[in-house]
Structure 1
Amino acid sequence: MKNKILIAYSIPKEGLTELETHFDLIYPEKEFFTKDELIERIPECIGLLSIFNRDVSAEIIKAGKNLKIISNYGVGFNNIDLSVANEQKIIVCNTPEAVCEPTAELCMGLLLSLSRQISVYNSELKSNPNFEWGVMKNLGNTLRGKTLGIIGMGEIGKSVAEKAMAFGMNIAYHNRKPITDIKWSKAVYMNLEELLKESDVVSLHCPLTPETDHLLGEKEFVKMKSTAFLINTARGAVVHEEALAKALNKGEIAGAGLDVFENEPTIYPGLLQQKNALVVPHIGTATWETRIEMGREASRNMIDYLKNGNTKNRVN
């Protein structure tokens, strides 16, 4: 008889075929298991494949009497009560490799749309029959020669940097410590204040921690160039949304491209009213290929640990 794994959300089964050869998988009949359903089913399982947008609370974790591993479908893991997982000696993993490239691609998409006002002009052309064309109308900004300031130079940040360099951008970054790899010798390490002042685009790629919660707020936006753009494909709470809306409204910065929000799916109303705020519904990893690959990576975490006693994506 195989051990059981609880699949919290209805994700593509193509990514779970290897996991299914080793374990019995319990899938939700609907889109996802509710909290009460998780608490009811988790005692019989040794593993939980959780999902980044639904909480794995202390109550759920403590109900997992036989639980050994939680493999989170996503790079973020702030949805999981890590302190309780540690108390219960349950390891927690994430899926950083699968999400890297699609998130970096979306970041560049937001940057291109902001700099050339693609979304704005698309909307206006469709809705305004009197839209004005002209050589000196509908101008945007060129990326070549501009400075991209990356906050959080992990794998996603590096992938964004590589793509931006292909567009001729200069790279500055703020990290816990400078990168020593000679490959990044042309990227300039800056403290946060210096990066905000010098960058034409500030792009967030840091995890949400007590230190990065509301990392950018009223005081930080004042330091940025009035022509600068902010892009957030990291975590919503890294940015103080109300302060950002005010900064956009007052022209303290030129625009923002946002994939993540403080209280998803709710977006601060002031942001929705800003023409220079480009918002999308947390689609950084939302491609068919990525969703399948995330399942494979989450599966490998479980197989490696439960069969071999070790896994590379452990976060606690």
Structure 2
Amino acid sequence: MNILMIDSLRVNYVEPGEYCCGPEQQPYAVEVTSNPSDEQLARADGIIAFHSVVIDEPLVAKMHRCRALVKATIGLDDVDVEALSTKGILLSNIGSVGVEEVAEHAMALILSAQRKLLDYAAHTRRGGWSWRAHSGEVKACRDTVLGLIGYGATGQALARRAAAMGYQICYYDPCVEKCVEGIAEGGSLESLLARADVISLHLPLTPDTRHLLNDRCFSRMKRGATLVNTARGAIVDTDALQRALQSGLVSMAFLDVLQEEPTPPQALIDHERVLLTPHAAFYSERSLGQLKARALGAMLSLLRGERVDTVVNPDCARMEAKGYA
């Protein structure tokens, strides 16, 4: 079995030589590249693609032997699922790897915003030493309403951490009727926007959620709210966010993801009330190892014809039936 790993051009997930040295009896060969040739794509029985690797129809057309593709991410917004299914190629993601890390990163951003760490760091860097040197209010956790847009695994992991610190938690998620743990109150998006002091995003990027946070949504927020995004950049309309920051509708934006990454607008980089991290929320040594192990494990299972729960197109036609073999 020939497995092709397409590593990210932005960030190298695979260490040099990581998959070169295996036992001689190993029933598969792994080839790693960030720029796959037509020949590599044509001979691969399975392909693993990392973050920021776009799987579009022209690329799929070059996959002549491929039976399975594993996207080593949770989101599949940069994958042409229809093109893969039409060619009989099974598609899988890696499930909930990095959930705890993303929740911890979001919690760190929320606390940094709430405790005005940007203001204090800038103040002391200039030689000051006053706890009054901040903008806006400094609220205790128990006096802060945290609104979670999206209440899946990551939103719930964040809610458990925030509840332990005393936050008042509300969420909006049409797929989750009730918080079984009783730590968060569900409701409409409009009510969340009006109530929340801090809004944290934890939903996938789909046609319905692209630019969900736009001028209209920002205008309905509680004035001076903080926005935290560790989900997908394009959920937020960057131009609308900049207008909301300028008008004071949004007091601070702490963002791990942007629709323009890896080159954020200079206006956001320079903004004194914006903190950017480089799509790092998923990362710990543990989660990175799990990500790669789960991707390879899913691929081997698919090539052996075994059931994989994270397959998103299990009913796709087989290659032989479509005449691609």
Same fold (TM over 0.5): yes
Per-residue CA shift, 1:2-59, capped at 9, x if unaligned?
Answer: x11001115346986999844210123xxx2x2xx34330111111110121212211
- The one of 159, 163, 167 equivalent to 1:165 is 163
Q: Secondary structure at the match of 1:79?
A: coil
Q: Which amino acid aligns with 1:64?
A: M
Q: Which amino acid aligns with 1:143?
A: C
- The one of 205, 209, 224 equivalent to 2:206 is 209
Partner of 2:150: 152
Q: Which amino acid aligns with 2:190?
A: E
Residue correspondence of structure 1 range 241-256 to structure 2 within 5 A: 241-256=238-253
CA contact 1:39–1:59 (8 Å) conserved in 2: no
Cα distance, 1:157 vs structure 2: 0.9
- Distance, in Å, in 1 between the alignment partners of 2:22 and 2:189 is 43
Cα distance, 1:74 vs structure 2: 1.5
Cα distance, 1:181 vs structure 2: 5.9
Q: Which amino acid aligns with 2:29?
A: D
- Distance, in Å, in 2 between the alignment partners of 1:188 and 1:17 is 50
CA contact 1:208–1:238 (8 Å) conserved in 2: yes
Q: Which amino acid aligns with 1:11?
A: Y
TM-score (norm 2): 0.87
C-alpha spacing 1:181/1:189, structure 2 compared with 1 (3 Å): closer
- Distance, in Å, in 1 between the alignment partners of 2:163 and 2:86 is 44
CA contact 1:75–1:99 (8 Å) conserved in 2: no
Residue correspondence of structure 1 range 1-316 to structure 2 within 5 A: 3-9=1-7, 10-12=12-14, 21-28=26-33, 32=34, 34=35, 37-126=36-125, 128-129=126-127, 131-134=128-131, 136-138=132-134, 140-180=138-178, 182-183=180-181, 185-316=182-313
- Distance, in Å, in 2 between the alignment partners of 1:100 and 1:255 is 24
Q: Which amino acid aligns with 2:161?
A: K
Cα distance, 1:164 vs structure 2: 0.8
C-alpha spacing 1:177/1:62, structure 2 compared with 1 (3 Å): same
Cα distance, 1:124 vs structure 2: 3.7
Q: Where does the alignment leave 5 or more consecutive residues of structure 2 unmatched?
A: 314-325
C-alpha spacing 1:110/1:38, structure 2 compared with 1 (3 Å): farther
- Distance, in Å, in 2 between the alignment partners of 1:50 and 1:201 is 34
Q: Which amino acid aligns with 1:182?
A: V
Q: Which amino acid aligns with 1:23?
A: Y
C-alpha spacing 1:144/1:18, structure 2 compared with 1 (3 Å): farther
TM-score (norm 1): 0.89
C-alpha spacing 1:290/1:262, structure 2 compared with 1 (3 Å): same
Q: Secondary structure at the match of 1:63?
A: coil
- Distance, in Å, in 1 between the alignment partners of 2:254 and 2:290 is 26
How many percent identity over aligned positions? 27
CA contact 2:73–2:93 (8 Å) conserved in 1: yes
CA contact 1:19–1:303 (8 Å) conserved in 2: no
After superposition, the CA RMSD in angstroms is: 2.3
- Distance, in Å, in 2 between the alignment partners of 1:27 and 1:169 is 45
- Distance, in Å, in 1 between the alignment partners of 2:175 and 2:81 is 25
Q: Secondary structure at the match of 2:162?
A: helix
C-alpha spacing 1:175/1:298, structure 2 compared with 1 (3 Å): same
CA contact 1:200–1:228 (8 Å) conserved in 2: yes
- Distance, in Å, in 2 between the alignment partners of 1:15 and 1:189 is 45
Q: Where does the alignment leave 5 or more consecutive residues of structure 1 unmatched?
A: none
CA contact 1:201–1:228 (8 Å) conserved in 2: yes
Cα distance, 1:273 vs structure 2: 3.5
Q: Which amino acid aligns with 2:57?
A: A
- Distance, in Å, in 1 between the alignment partners of 2:165 and 2:21 is 39
CA contact 2:172–2:192 (8 Å) conserved in 1: yes
C-alpha spacing 1:137/1:94, structure 2 compared with 1 (3 Å): same
CA contact 1:15–1:292 (8 Å) conserved in 2: no
